[in-house]
Amino acid sequence: MAKHLQDTTTLHNGVEMPWLGLGVFKVQEGQEVVDAVKTAIRHGYRSIDTAAVYKNEEGVGQAIREALEENGLKREDLFITSKVWNTDQGYESTIKAYETSLRKLGLDYLDLYLVHWPVKGKYKETWRALETLYKEKKVRAIGVSNFKVHHLEDLLQEAAITPMVNQVEYHPQLTQMEVKAFCEQHDIRLEAWSPLAQGQLLDNPALSEIANSHGKSVAQVIIRWDLQNGVVTIPKSINENRIVENANVFDFQLTDEEMERINQLNADKRVGPDPDHIDF
């Protein structure tokens, strides 16, 4: 169980991945993303999650370079994730997309590279490209994003390497129990995107009650629930106070009853697209 912001989980290939990181979905390229990433690193975050389609990899890269220098850190102190976008899926195009992401970030390697969505008829070739990048030691770990159980089963029939991570929409109204169980069974680490359901859960009465009893915010309770469920989480914020608050979750523990009460909020309700119906 994570006891500190820099605590890590060991992926099935032995790579250490921080339990808690900063997501930068919808964070604007330029000063906004530079400031958010630098703020997070200054306050102890070591994991940053971006993607080609977020169009902010250059800003993330600039922030990393500046933060390393300002905080006396080395590149290997950080864990950087990006993802191949749907229009780049396929074998050759994925290899090219990886090189483009590296160039934009100004990095020699990524810690984790993900297939962003299970594009029908393409994701197996895309995965083959990720396996190549991994075997050539260009990336430390590879995984998928938004894969349901049937996508994972299909992929595993032919994959030479089991994904290390599956990053999915995961929050108290979308607990993804089947996906979670499947990932646990196959030693794939589940990671939550939109853990706060893009703010839609922050005034939930049950969560507010639990938060009040701990003297914490609803956001902190949700992030704590992720961690106690063994799920890596990457809440997004550009606000310094919230970036700090989101990481201040290691000084309290939810009881089994509280965990169960939060689990019961599941309504299979998504804030993002259903991976079975993607047209982008």
Residue 81 main-chain phi, psi, to 5 deg: -115, 140
54 is catalytic: yes
User: Which helix (H) or strand (E) is 93 found in, with range?
Assistant: helix 91-105
Assess contact for 168 and 197: CB atoms under 8 A.
Answer: no
Residue 49 main-chain phi, psi, to 5 deg: -120, 120
Residue 113 main-chain phi, psi, to 5 deg: -125, 130
Q: Quote the tokens at residue 235.
A: 């809440």
Torsion angle, alpha carbons of 17, 4, 197, 37, to 10:
-70
Look at strands 165-169 and 79-84 and give their pairing: unpaired
Determine the Cα angle at 262 with ends 258 and 264, to 5°.
115
Residue 104 main-chain phi, psi, to 5 deg: -65, -40
Which single residue is written with the structure tokens 């050539």?
Answer: 136
Tell me which amino acid residue 77 is: D
Q: Alpha-carbon distance 191 to 166, whole Å?
A: 6
Q: Alpha-carbon distance 76 to 82, whole Å?
A: 16
Q: How many CB atoms lie within 10 A of CB 156?
A: 15
Q: Which residue of the set 54, 98, 123, 134 is catalytic? A: 54
Q: Alpha-carbon distance 180 to 190, whole Å?
A: 7
Catalytic residues: 54
